Amino acid sequence: MLQAPRGTRDFTPGEMQKRRYIEHTMATTFRSFGYGEIQTPTFENLELFTAKSGGSIIDEIYAFTDKGGRQLALRPELTAPVIRCYVERLQMEPKPLKLYYFGNCYRYDRPQKGRYREFQQAGCELIGADTPEAMAELLGCAFTLLKNVGLQNIRMNIGNLTLFNRLFAHFKLEKPAQKTLLPLIDKSLFDDLRVALGDCDLSGEAGDQFINLLQTASLDEIKEFFHKDDIAVQELTTMETVLDLLRNAFQVTDYEIKLGIVRGLDYYKGIVFEIDAPVLGAEKQLCGGGSYELVSLFGGTEVPTAGFAVGFDRTILALEAEGFTFPSPALDVYIIPVNPEMVLTTITIAQQLRKEGISVDFDQLRRGMGKSLKYAAARNALKVIIVGLKELEQQSVTLRDMKTGTQEIVPITRIHSTLKHP
């Protein structure tokens, strides 16, 4: 039997119904925050991703040479493509420019629950604004997006890469040391980190202090440590304004400060954040984002940029784990002709109702009434119309409510109004 490639999935109509529900809710939320949709190609020049993330990214993505000898890659994320498109076509647009997207991404990851080789991201990029209110809105938008789809329990962790870099500077941890330490910080492997810090001549109290600052949720503690560092003090002041707005204006209070958030250190700067769904266990990160600098790297005139990406598939897993009731894939009407002579009338009624935006299907197998009603129930039909001889003589049909089982005779001309106002 032929199977879908490892790490990819098919989505059945029932699953698609869930995905479209989430997509619709997220798109509505993005638009309510003033974002406009953008779409970029599924594959890009490989160089786009190596320029952003370095040559080692090739091991983690689907990179290939096409028949014309071009080095290409299936996109592993959408920030680089969107910024490439901005530099190529949108630089003259009025700022700020607010772009949102949905798109499949491809990574040569080890598949497991919540981790796939083909997965969907929803996300946005905010180009040309970095005031505290712009940043607070970005964080607020990410949180609202996940709340609006119906998630109950999510946590936002907020870090700051400017402070993170100052921390490394204070403890005199240079680039080579950072390379060893970053993956451990990223995975919160603090015991291993303590050992690695020892190898970097940072043991004992100083090592403990470093680890504590990565873990603490107390802004006061962080402020106390940095109080003589002008760069850090300024960054902390800005960050406090962002957090005040996030709490008081955007009503987001489920967040924690976490300096240990590591994102692409080469291009992220300032505020970075992640949103987790604890219910998911190991692969619990739903969203990641922050402010970054990529425009000049791609040949454009530098402007402030920030954004986030939400893992669409994990959002569904989290909703399922929380027991969320998705809108059911109901069929408005199923029409059953009692015999083949009624087929023409059946289809005519179906077509009329479809024109009114009602979803309609009809029996196409000439089954008996019992089997047809069973099928209608299996299809989650809300109403059934039975086209019978006796009723048709009176230009009427039988309308059955599938929930209550009650039936009424309705003139054909009044089907639509009866369905709308029962």
Residue whose CB is less far from ligand AMP, 116 or 362:
116
Contact region with ligand AMP (CB under 6 A), list: 91-99, 190-198, 307-315, 396-404: 307-315
- Which letter does DSSP use for residue 57 in this model? G
- Specify whether the CB–CB gap between 253 and 279 falls below 8 A: no
Contact call for residues 367 and 340 (beta carbons, < 8 A): no
* Residue whose structure tokens are 């990529």: 294
> Tokens 């005199």 sit at which residue?
172
Cβ proximity to ligand AMP: between 29 and 372 the closer is 29
- For 87, which DSSP code? I
Return the DSSP state at 4: P
Residues 265-294 that bind ligand AMP (CB under 6 A): 285-288
CB nearer ligand AMP, residue 277 or residue 399: 277
Residue at token pair 């230009």: 395
* Cα 229 from Cα 213, distance rounded (Å): 15
By CB under 6 A, which span of 112-120, 176-184, 197-205, 249-257 interacts with ligand AMP? 112-120
Q: Which of 115, 147, 223, 247 binds ligand AMP (CB under 6 A)?
A: 115
Q: Which two tokens stand for residue 273?
A: 């954040």
Is 40 an interacting residue with respect to ligand AMP (CB under 6 A)? no
For 421, counting Cβ atoms within 10 Å of its Cβ (0-12 exposed, 13-18 middle, 19+ buried), the class is: exposed
Scanning 9-17, 145-153, 243-251, 305-313 for contacts with ligand AMP by CB under 6 A, the matching segment is 305-313
> Using the 8-state DSSP alphabet, how is residue 24 labeled?
H
> What part of residues 71-90 is at the interface with ligand AMP (CB under 6 A)?
77
DSSP run (H or E) holding 199? helix 190-199
Among 134, 309, 358, 419, binds ligand AMP (CB under 6 A): 309
Binding residues for ligand AMP, total number by CB under 6 A: 16
Residue 316 in the binding site for ligand AMP (CB under 6 A): no
Query: What is the footprint of ligand AMP within residues 179-198 (CB under 6 A)?
Result: none
> What does the block give as tokens for 157?
């962790």
Q: In terms of CB distance, is 314 or 383 closer to ligand AMP? A: 314
CB 209 within 8 A of CB 216: no
Q: Which is nearer to ligand AMP, 122 or 336 (CB)?
A: 122
Does 314 bind ligand AMP (CB under 6 A)? Our answer is yes
Using CA atoms, how far apart are residues 119 and 179, in angstroms rounded to an integer?
Answer: 28
Q: State the residues that interact with ligand AMP by CB under 6 A.
A: 77, 107, 109, 114-116, 119, 121, 285-288, 309, 311, 313-314
